[in-house]
Amino acid sequence: MHPLDHFERRIGIAMTKHRQFITLGRSVIAYPIAMAAGAMTFLPVLIAGSRQASGVVAKHGFVLSIPRFVGAELGVALLGLAIFALPVFPFYIAGMTVAKKVGTRHWLYFATMGVVLSLGLWAGMIFLSPRVYNEHFAFGVLIRLVVPVGVVSGLACWLFLYLTWPREAT
């Protein structure tokens, strides 16, 4: 083994002779997984961060009924995919292109990319909406809701890529 090979492996540079961490096929599969995971984070984070949401959830029995909670989660995931998948996709492609060019496979990049995409979506909704103050899109929502959704979606993308990444026998 060449001395630089060990160094390149330690810092995570993807060389052409090594198997690629980011491929087109796996990236396309990772996208809906990441979007669904981020959307499914929405309800638990909303419940944890709001006194009103906790009361509504408890009143309708979501906490006591696992099937109702799972149904609500699946509904949120499908709704998130239906509404947000297409507008976010070009930015996802840009982020994956940068990751592939740089050769990174670090989880922090993907978590950061998820947060940036979530922030961009949040900002787009704020700036494109009518100029009426809406408390649901206040700055507090940014910290309590948008950032955790972005982190989870980015980590879900990274985890899928990592678990399906064919490693070389060393």
- Pair 31, 156: CB distance under 8 Å: no
Domain count, the chain: 1
Above 80 in pLDDT, residue 9?
A: no
Q: What digits encode the pLDDT tens for the residues 29-71?
A: 999 999 999 989 987 887 776 666 556 566 655 556 778 778 8
The answer to the question of residue 168 being in a domain is: no
Angle at 96 between CA 90 and CA 100, to 5 degrees: 145
Confidence at residue 4, expressed as pLDDT on a 0 to 100 scale? 46
The answer to the question of residue 64 being in a domain is: yes
Write out the residue range of the structural domain in which residue 84 sits. Answer: 22-163
Q: Model confidence at 14, in pLDDT bands (50, 70, 90)?
A: very low
The answer to the question of residue 113 being in a domain is: yes
CA 86 to chain centroid, in Å, comes to: 14
Confidence at residue 102, expressed as pLDDT on a 0 to 100 scale? 94
The answer to the question of residue 130 being in a domain is: yes
The answer to the question of residue 82 being in a domain is: yes
Lowest average pLDDT, out of 12-16, 52-56, 164-168, goes to: 12-16
The answer to the question of residue 140 being in a domain is: yes
What residue type is assigned to position 125 of the chain? Answer: M
Q: What digits encode the pLDDT tens for the residues 102-154?
A: 999 999 999 999 999 998 888 777 777 666 555 555 666 667 788 899 999 99
Ranges of H-type helices in the chain: 3-11, 24-49, 51-59, 66-102, 107-128, 139-141, 147-163
The answer to the question of residue 11 being in a domain is: no
The answer to the question of residue 128 being in a domain is: yes
